[in-house]
């Protein structure tokens, strides 16, 4: 990611990105400018934490442990995979959240999938 062009533009517009002394670190305004530029790019790499696991049964299958993450429902196909994420059986809520019927399905949680634990 190249910040130079946007930092140059901010400097041309009068932003004081660096201290006016021997300190070669960005000023408070410089840090804020860098954060403003980087922020939208970093959001693509951030994920919302997963919800508490809950029990859910769709029309076609058995009761499964599911979890919400980034606005989608994911299901665990085995207890082994569920427990590897760091949750315990005691963490499972007995019912899905009320908005469950409008949340799209995201897929299965695979062994080694990150971001589904507590």
Interval 84-92 mean pLDDT = 90
DSSP per-residue string spanning 59-114:
TTS--EEEEEETTEEEEES-HHHHHHTT--GGG-BSS--GGGGGSPEEEEEPTT-S
Q: Does residue 43 register a pLDDT over 90? A: no
Q: How far apart are CA 40 and CA 38, in angstroms?
A: 6
Please give the torsion angle defined by the CA atoms of residues 102, 107, 108 and 113, in that order, rounded to the nearest 10 degrees. -110
Q: How confident is the model at residue 32 (pLDDT cuts 50, 70, 90)?
A: confident
pTM of the model: 0.55
Q: Does residue 41 register a pLDDT over 80? A: no
Q: Does residue 50 register a pLDDT over 80? A: no
Q: Does residue 49 register a pLDDT over 70? A: no
């Amino acid at each position: 990611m190249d910040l130079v062009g946007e930092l140059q533009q901010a400097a041309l517009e009068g932003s004081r990105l660096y201290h006016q002394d021997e300190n070669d670190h960005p000023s408070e305004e410089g840090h804020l400018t860098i954060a403003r530029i980087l922020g939208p790019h970093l959001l693509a790499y951030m994920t919302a934490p997963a919800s508490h696991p809950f029990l859910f049964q769709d029309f076609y299958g058995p009761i499964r442990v599911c979890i919400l993450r980034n606005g989608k429902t994911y299901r665990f196909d085995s207890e082994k995979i569920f427990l590897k994420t760091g949750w315990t059986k005691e963490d499972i809520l007995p019912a899905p959240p009320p908005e469950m019927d409008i949340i799209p399905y995201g897929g299965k949680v695979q062994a080694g999938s990150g971001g589904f634990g507590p």
